[in-house]
Structure 1
Amino acid sequence: MKILMLCLGNICRSPLAEGILRSKLSSDFEVDSAGTISMHEGEKADKRSIKVAANHHVDINEHRSRPITTKDFENFDRIYCMDLHNLQDALSMAKNNEQGAKVSLILDVLNSGKSNEVPDPYWGDLSDFEKVYQMLDEACNVIAKEINFNSKTI
């Protein structure tokens, strides 16, 4: 199974989500991330994302930002978006209903009744990045359990 995490610039939220989920899955699964814009293409993750991830023993130092491509809709089984704008941008790139069905908001897996958007911490401080980490960690726990369960029942 191949999973793509998607946010705006691919330097804050989606690299965190990628690293968190990757740390919860075996190497049999592919986890990557991308952004809906190319403004930060080739850049490392935001230093605050790197720090918060490291505080939780998740290494995202090797991450480099990249924009989402139409090929991603062919290559990935699931595309998890951080907010409604990312979701709309991704759905507008899908060529058909099958590709569109791969796209969802990452926090939708929680069914918590709370906001289903991961706030962009870019303009905030380290505590905002920590809050985002906690949200993504909770969602990635659910995703990892589901994926691991489904891979054992196949």
Structure 2
Amino acid sequence: MKILMVCLGNICRSPLAEGILKSKLPSNFTVDSAGTINMHEGNAPDKRSVEVAVKNGLNISKQRSRHFQSQDLDEYDRIFCMDKNNLRDVLSLAESDEQRQKVSLLMNDLNLKQHPHEVPDPYWSGSEGFDQVYRQIDEACEIIAENLLKESFKIKP
């Protein structure tokens, strides 16, 4: 199964989501990330994302930003967007219901009475914003990983 995490520039939230979800899934799952804009294409994750990842035992420093492409809608089985703007941008490229059904907000599976629907962009915040975003993404990825593992063990007809 192939999963794609999407945020705006692919340097803050989605690289964290990629690293966090990879750490929770076996190696037969592929997890990648992309951004809806190409402004940072080829760049490493924001140093604050790298720092919060290291603080939590993950290394995301080798990841490189890439721009979301319409073919990603065919290549990936699940696409998780960090916020409603990213969701709208990704869905605007979808050409079929099958493609649209692959796309959702990362936070959709959490109890939304306690959590927002979106992962805020920490780019303009200090390290505390990155810590908060890491915790949000980690909690969402825990549930996503459980659901993906259950789904992968279902026998398909």
Category of TM-score, reference length = shorter chain: over 0.9
Partner of 1:95: 95
Identity of aligned residues (%): 55
Q: Distance in 2 between matches of 1:111 and 1:79?
A: 20
Q: Distance in 2 between matches of 1:17 and 1:5?
A: 6
Q: Distance in 1 between matches of 2:112 and 2:93?
A: 28
Which is helix-richer, 1 or 2? 1
- Per-residue CA deviations over 1:32-86 (Å, capped at 9, x if unaligned) read 0000000000000000000000111111011100000011001001100000000
Partner of 2:152: 151
Q: Distance in 1 between matches of 2:85 and 2:143?
A: 23
Question: Offset of 1:112 from its aligned partner?
Answer: 2.3
Secondary structure in 2 matching 1:70 = coil
Q: Distance in 2 between matches of 1:48 and 1:130?
A: 9
Secondary structure in 2 matching 1:34 = strand
For normalisation by structure 1, the TM-score amounts to 0.98
Report the count of equivalent residues.
154
Q: Distance in 1 between matches of 2:61 and 2:26?
A: 19
For normalisation by structure 2, the TM-score amounts to 0.96
Alignment RMSD: 0.8
Q: Distance in 2 between matches of 1:45 and 1:25?
A: 21
